[in-house]
Structure 1
Amino acid sequence: MTRVVLVHGIAQQLKGPESIAEAWLPSLNDGLALSGSGTLPRPDVSVAFYGDLFRRPGHRGLGEPPLDASDVEPGLENDLLLSWWQAAADAEARVPGPDAPGRLRTPRIVQRALNALSHSAFFSGLAEGAMIGSARQVRRYFTEPEVQQAAGERLARAVTGETTVIVAHSLGSVVAYEALCAHPQWQDLTLITLGSPLAVRGLVFDRLRPTPHEGAARWPVPVKRWVNIADHGDAVALVKELAPSFGTRVQDLAVDNGAHAHDVRPYLTARETGLALAEALA
């Protein structure tokens, strides 16, 4: 019995539905407990896993060389990295902004962005290749129809007649929104989006299916309630409030995730998330 469907975000290609459920469920139950509600057993939860769509095939020998700044493609990949850089600099004093003087050894703007992001809370400890790979997954989702379609189909297979809540993080909120719009026959669902980039115009919002009209996106028919939760320092959720773009029925809430602003676990343990989930399950 699947009451809650979880939809992951970027950089999950080396995991699977069981490992994600194992990582998410304790945090989700912590949020429920903080809201004064009971916890969910594992059979009540399923994961719409699509990370393997981005996993590169194996190679003989030493494998493919790691990605570096020269591999960043112009357009969406480049623009995403620069927007994350600006957002991280705005939120964290330790991250040098685009206006800061560039070092002689890193004259290229993309390299400067990667260097700066390595000091941010979200990308701390990640290699350049991982940061580029994250932007590449977003680009591939929007430019490769087969990837976009397959991700939506994974979610559609996870939703059952008993499903009442979809919890979607990061790029997963885009997958969830588009799948909900594509399945108007689903009914009475609550959508909880965490660290969502849905309202980022020019990069995400304008690429959605169905296409927004006159600056407004279509309301997903199956959704009776939509709660959007964002940390003020989340560099991926560049636009924290979705209501201006998706309608006043969206309830936008702010949380403080500490140093790991985009990490799904503090989003799930937040009392606000627990309350939204508890009310939907009730």
Structure 2
Amino acid sequence: MSRIVVVHGVGRQLDTAETLLAEVEPALRGGVGLALRRDPTLGRLADGDMSCAAYGDLYRQPGTRGEPYYQAADVELGFEAELLEAWWREAARLDPRIPGPDAPGPNTIGPAARGGVGRLAGRPLSVDWVRRALDALTRTRFFGAVSDRLLISDLKQVRRYFTEPGLREAVRARAAELITPDTRVVVGHSLGSVVAYEVLCALGPERPPLTLVTLGSPLGLGGLVFDRLQPAPEQGGSGAWPAPVKQWTNVADSADVVALVRELAPRFGPEVRDLLVHNGSEMHSMRAYLTAVETGTAIAEGLAR
């Protein structure tokens, strides 16, 4: 059984566990290799140490080729519009050249939008507003390589995970079946960090200790993600700590628009080790995160435990 389980994020509908492993394994080995150059006493990788929890096929629509041809009008009011706005505001904060939601421009949903689209329940969502958001995001270094169609698809995948219990359960089952007593490290990227966290929270403390490594994680995003987690955060606002996890390292790029809250320690406790990296133009790329020496060190430490 694999000592390392990797859980991917959205946008991998055409991948299987085998195709993901072909991409992930060289990157992860590269990051661990860099870590071993710094500290040869860390844990090393062996053949067969790695597996990928693939769930993208659960999002594929039967009888279709690829993704539906989503357009601005397909973005739904509520979760999707709020997440889109959150990404948009962060992109504008990171790059002053990108106009934010409050900049002058077409806004047919009215002044109330200045306070956040989440306050517009029951009112139609302006297509012009969505187009402004999409235009702004496609000017960023990461989303600039993503079409509007795929960006909207990503919004819908995140929304569906949190609002469709059957899908959520099926996604988590893909990861849970790979985590065995032999597993020492679980790596979750983007939405995969949410999946990994929820799966580990469902495990009891009696199993062997684990290391959790989260990459480009949205776990700390209040309202849309953090407050929807299972188990729910405690009344004081602290997220539950997964019982089997003895070490948790969270790695985030300082310009990652998706990882809106880059430090998870304030949400989940000071035991979380938050690290910043610089992935260049691939700030949210799973490959770029895995090849970072910080990620490799966290994984190698977990293997050495």
Fold match by TM threshold 0.5: yes
User: Aligned partners of 1:125 and 1:274: how far apart in 2?
Assistant: 26
Question: Contact 2:87–2:258 (CA<8 Å) still a contact in 1?
Answer: yes
- The equivalent of 1:33 in structure 2 is 33
What secondary structure does 1:108 align onto? helix
Question: Contact 2:72–2:127 (CA<8 Å) still a contact in 1?
Answer: no
1:155 and 2:172 are equivalent in the alignment: no
- The equivalent of 1:22 in structure 2 is 22
Question: Contact 2:13–2:59 (CA<8 Å) still a contact in 1?
Answer: yes
The TM-score, its normalising length taken from structure 1, stands at: 0.94
- The equivalent of 1:80 in structure 2 is 83
Letter in 2 for 1:100: A
- The equivalent of 1:92 in structure 2 is 95
* Two-structure CA RMSD over aligned residues (Å): 2.0
The TM-score, its normalising length taken from structure 2, stands at: 0.87
Counterparts in 2 of 1:53 and 1:247: CA distance versus 1, 3 Å: same
Counterparts in 2 of 1:94 and 1:20: CA distance versus 1, 3 Å: farther
Counterparts in 2 of 1:264 and 1:69: CA distance versus 1, 3 Å: same
Tell me by how many angstroms 1:128 deviates: 1.1
Tell me by how many angstroms 1:99 deviates: 2.8
1:134-173 correspondence to structure 2 within 5 Å: 134-173=154-193
User: Aligned partners of 1:234 and 1:129: how far apart in 2?
Assistant: 20
Question: Contact 2:73–2:127 (CA<8 Å) still a contact in 1?
Answer: no
1:181-196 correspondence to structure 2 within 5 Å: 181-184=201-204, 185-196=206-217
Tell me by how many angstroms 1:136 deviates: 0.4
Tell me by how many angstroms 1:63 deviates: 9.1
How many aligned residue pairs are there? 280
Q: State the percentage of identical aligned residues.
A: 52
- The equivalent of 2:271 in structure 1 is 249
Counterparts in 2 of 1:20 and 1:249: CA distance versus 1, 3 Å: same
- The equivalent of 2:62 in structure 1 is 57
User: Aligned partners of 2:201 and 2:66: how far apart in 1?
Assistant: 40
**Structure 2 gap segments, 5+ residues each:** 108-125
Question: Contact 2:60–2:67 (CA<8 Å) still a contact in 1?
Answer: no
User: Aligned partners of 1:143 and 1:210: how far apart in 2?
Assistant: 15
**Structure 1 gap segments, 5+ residues each:** none
